[in-house]
Structure 1
Amino acid sequence: MKASLMSLGSKSSLMTFEAMKKYFDEVENIDIKGVEVVLSSKKLSVLYNGKTLQKSDCMYAKGSFRYAPLLRSITTAFYNSTYMPIKPNTFTIGHDKLLTHLALQHYNIPMPETYVISSINAAKKILKQVQFPIILKFPQGTQGKGVMFGDSFASASSMLDTIESLKQPFLIQEYVETDGSDIRAIVVGDNVVAAMKRKAVIGEKRANIHAGAKGEAIVLDTFSRKIAVNTAKSIGAEICAVDILESVKGPEVIEANLSPGLQGIIEVTKIDVVDKIAKYLYEKAKHFSEKGKSSETSKIFEDLGVSKAGKSAEQQIVSNLDFRSDRILLPKLITNLSKFDEQDEVVIKASKGKVMVEKL
């Protein structure tokens, strides 16, 4: 199988590229700066160094927020024919803190209270209502850049005056006291493959490794792992980093990162994160290319001692309906076969004598 890694060529990306070569027959290392997208009424074309970019079995595309529109365009062109762990619209959501928080809110994922402000005057009114300290941040930015700490009304007002001159949208967010620490979890599929606690240096509120923070390997509890995985699902990413604060109310998500640095967490945890990513990409790409052939459905039926009728991946069982109050409760077998998750969005179609549920 052939894979492509599209990135800005960071050390983490090069490490991932080398790991992918252990699993795929061929891996192309693509510099996103050399990619262009041509749109017309009839087709969407992607060029790399002036030549048509060939389709691969797997495309792992990532980069900074500055390349979000380009990444979305590129992945849209290949989405139906190539396995990719990050959906096209995820680049728009994941690289914008406001859109990320909207996704978190939609999926009921705990997060600090956040205000979206339309003007400086409105912001100063908010300052009169909130408890200090607070966090002010720009919707876009990585490695903790664009995040400001206001410990009083006066300091926050001064920051707002500076922000006004920049003519940029911004967020006001509740400050969660954690003694300058946070948790970074790397999500791959349905698992957290590595996690560390980051402690900010003295005088610094950002717990980013790039800002000098120190890391310590940890094992997340079940609830925190679930929150991290659900955060990734909420923005449409199978691979990403999730940053969590340990508040008195429990874990709260502050950010998801589609292109996280991996050297720090690998060094701290001694876990070969890039190998886990590469292996996951290979297995998912293989499953994607073999879709329509034998699938997990066969194994489920074999484990349950139920014979499979025909070669179709769609299965049928004969059963009486179980009503709980005035609602239908489906058999556990159907839940296992469908692989639905509580965070999935579905379309439900119903008519007399028939109900159909499909994942969006």
Structure 2
Amino acid sequence: MKAALISMGSKSSQMTLQAMKKYFDSVEGIDLRNMEVMVGGKGLSILYNGKPLQKYDGIYAKGSFRYAPLLRSITTAFYDTTYMPLKPNSFTLGHDKLLTHLAMQRNKIPMPDTYIVSSRAAAKKILNQVNYPVILKFPQGTQGKGVMFAESFAAASSMLDAIETLKNPFLIQEYIETEGSDIRAIVIGDKVAASMKRKAVFGEKRANIHAGGKGEPIVLDVHTKKIAVNAAKAIGAEICAIDILETVKGPEVIEANLSPGLQGITAATKIDVADKIAKYLYERTKEFVEKGKTTETSKLFTDLSIKGGAEQQIVSNLDFRSDRILLPKIVTNITKFDEGQEVVIKAQKGKVTLEKP
């Protein structure tokens, strides 16, 4: 099977790419920055370095929030014919904190009280009502960037001056004291593949590894794992990171990351997360391909009024390639033999049969 990893070429992406090569017959790393989408009356055309992107059995596409529209376009073009762990709308939901929180709320995922505001005046009203400290967040941003901590109304008000210049909605979120720690869970399918507790460095409120935070392994209870998996499902992602706070009310989700770094959690947990991702991609791609074959064969049976599993008689003229007999395509579809598969061939004059051993 053929697979492609579309990414920005980060260290984590390279780790995943190398792991995928252990499972797939062919794997290509594709630089997202060299891709283009052509939209026309005949549909979407995806170009890579100016040429049409070839067909793959599976595509794992991920990248910065800045490329969310491009990622959504690419995955939309291939979603029906290629296995992809991230649905097209994942990039819209997962790369925008406003939409992420709305998706979490809609799916009843526990999270801190969060206000979405679009103007200084609206923000002032909220800031006059909330308890301090509070967190202010920009809609986009990763690695803890765009997250501000305000200890008082005065501090929050001064931050509004900078935020207002962007003319974009932003978040005001309840601050929950966790002594500068949070939990990062890597969700792969219906399981949490790895999890670590991140602890912020002295004087820093953000626990992100990229902000200097330190990670240590942690075993999550069943309830927290379920919340992480459900949060990933809420944004349509089979592979992502979910960040969680441990509160007196229980675990609460604060963010989702569609393109998480793997070095920190791999070092902290000693779990080969890249390999787990690669193996999952292979298994899901295989399921997708086999399901496609079954669907195609079922449609063929229906079109020909053939009952699946029943022996059929086909009348056809023999087709030779050099000195070899080439069977009709319909025989391949009905028997479901794969290339390279071992079979028992019985032959005598005027008769030949093929069977699985």
TM-score, normalized by the shorter chain, greater than 0.5: yes
Amino acid at match of 1:148: M
Q: Equivalent residue of 1:291, what SS?
A: helix
Amino acid at match of 2:115: Y
Retained in 1: the 8 A contact 2:60–2:85? yes
> How far did 1:21 drift?
0.2
Amino acid at match of 2:159: M
> How far did 1:162 drift?
1.6
Q: Output aligned runs, 1:124-143, within 5 Å.
A: 124-143=124-143
Q: Equivalent residue of 2:203, what SS?
A: coil
Q: Equivalent residue of 1:166, what SS?
A: coil
Retained in 1: the 8 A contact 2:118–2:168? no
* Higher gyration radius (CA): 2
Amino acid at match of 2:264: G
Q: Output aligned runs, 1:192-203, within 5 Å.
A: 192-203=192-203
Q: Output aligned runs, 1:60-209, within 5 Å.
A: 60-209=60-209
2:20 matched to 1:20? yes
Encode CA deviations 1:281-327: one digit per residue, 9 max, x unaligned: 000000000006679xxxxxxxxxxxxxx859xxxxxxxxxxxxxxx
Q: Equivalent residue of 2:291, what SS?
A: coil
Q: Equivalent residue of 1:22, what SS?
A: coil
Q: Which residue of 1 aligns with 2:264?
A: 264
Encode CA deviations 1:165-205: one digit per residue, 9 max, x unaligned: 23232110000110100000000000001000000001100
Q: Output aligned runs, 1:209-224, within 5 Å.
A: 209-224=209-224
Q: Which residue of 1 aligns with 2:315?
A: none
Retained in 1: the 8 A contact 2:116–2:171? yes
Encode CA deviations 1:213-232: one digit per residue, 9 max, x unaligned: 01110110000000000000
Q: Output aligned runs, 1:322-333, within 5 Å.
A: none
> How far did 1:234 drift?
0.4
Q: Which residue of 1 aligns with 2:273?
A: 273
Q: Equivalent residue of 2:88, what SS?
A: coil
Retained in 1: the 8 A contact 2:94–2:235? yes
Q: Which residue of 1 aligns with 2:302?
A: none
Q: Which residue of 2 aligns with 1:358?
A: none
- Distance in 1 of aligned mates of 2:147 and 2:238: 26
Q: Which residue of 2 aligns with 1:251?
A: 251
- Distance in 2 of aligned mates of 1:42 and 1:21: 34
RMSD: 1.3
> How far did 1:122 drift?
1.0
Could you tell me which runs of 5 or more consecutive residues in structure 1 were left unpaired when the two chains were aligned.
296-309, 313-360
Amino acid at match of 2:8: L
Amino acid at match of 1:181: S
> How far did 1:112 drift?
0.5
Could you tell me which runs of 5 or more consecutive residues in structure 2 were left unpaired when the two chains were aligned.
296-306, 310-357
Q: Which residue of 2 aligns with 1:241?
A: 241
Amino acid at match of 1:207: A
- Distance in 1 of aligned mates of 2:165 and 2:280: 46
- Distance in 1 of aligned mates of 2:36 and 2:122: 40
- Distance in 2 of aligned mates of 1:213 and 1:192: 21
- Distance in 2 of aligned mates of 1:101 and 1:168: 16
Identity within the alignment, %: 74
2:31 matched to 1:59? no
- Distance in 2 of aligned mates of 1:290 and 1:107: 31
Retained in 1: the 8 A contact 2:109–2:227? yes
- Distance in 1 of aligned mates of 2:133 and 2:121: 19
- Distance in 2 of aligned mates of 1:32 and 1:289: 25
- Distance in 1 of aligned mates of 2:236 and 2:149: 30
- Distance in 1 of aligned mates of 2:78 and 2:293: 22
TM-score by length of 2: 0.82
Greater than 6 Å deviation, 4+ residue runs: none
TM-score by length of 1: 0.81
Q: Equivalent residue of 2:9, what SS?
A: coil
> How far did 1:43 drift?
1.6
